[in-house]
Chain A
Amino acid sequence: MYSKDMVDLLKEIMAVDFVVYELALFLDTHPNDRRALEDHNNFAMKSRQLREMFERKYGPLILDSVSEFPYQYINNPWPWEIRY
């Protein structure tokens, strides 16, 4: 099972990661837009911090994250099983 705190933190990561993705698509066709790149980099750093915080508490979101024993990646809920 999972807690409301876990879902809230996951949703925060989802929102920040969406900003990063949207800015990345924009930068694909506007690589010289300095302001968009600054925003992209700031949100990318924020995403890393949040992901580290999440993974320390609830286990890996991605298979190349370091895991405690036993392997934690398989245990936290799958995205389609969560009530957001």
Chain B
Amino acid sequence: MWYYVKKLQYPANVARTDLGMAKFLFAQYGGPDSELSASIRYLTQRYTMPIPQAKALLTDIGTEELAHWEIIGTLIYKLTDGATPEQMRRAGLGDHFAQHDNALYPHDAAGVPWTAAYIQATGDPIADLHENLAAEQKARATYEHLISLTDDPGVIATLAFLREREIVHFQRFGEALMLVKEYMDKPKHVF
């Protein structure tokens, strides 16, 4: 089970309202390589991991990704705080406002709703861990795109933190892949 702790993993600040940037950040709230996809992917795949190191890692990174989803949600909430319907409309968030007002909703930067089709769980630990390595790199690239779309120092610092986490997770998944390969290469019975 899980417990909620009333704190963010990183102190996410914004300098001012920026609806355009909020719209772009939906890429990581409900897009294909979003924090939501990452969390659901790892927390789904963990059941069929063959070794304790991999079961632990997918559980713990999957949990951290939910904390990152909360950080992205916080940035969007703060960037849109107090925005009027007319301002939302001018920033390209009129479609969002029509359906969701100022609420958050897991869709991508273009408004496409999140779908489980963004993730895979094959039951094959080698295939799944390779998917995760690719997912971390795709998220890293997305963060670099997002950083280049803003000059807000608070948003940049927060996105730079999240980008770094993708790199650390990539490293840990690589180690888990090597450990799983070692395990699968071992003869099952040694007499």
Contact = CB atoms under 8 A, between A and B. Distances in A.
Physical interaction between A and B: yes
Nearest to B11: A84
Interface of B: 3-13, 53, 56-57, 60-61, 64, 70, 73-74, 77-78, 168-169, 172, 175-176, 179
A80 B57 contact: no
A80 B77 contact: yes
Given A28-B60, A29-B179, A83 B70 contact: no
A29 B170 CA distance: 13
Given A26-B172, A29-B175, A29-B179, A79 B8 contact: yes
Binding site secondary structure of chain A: helix
Most buried by B among A14, A22, A31, A73: A14
Contact of B13 (A17, A18, A63, A84): A84
A83 B78 CA distance: 10
A46 interface: no
A67 B60 CA distance: 28
A25 interface: yes
A63 B175 CA distance: 35
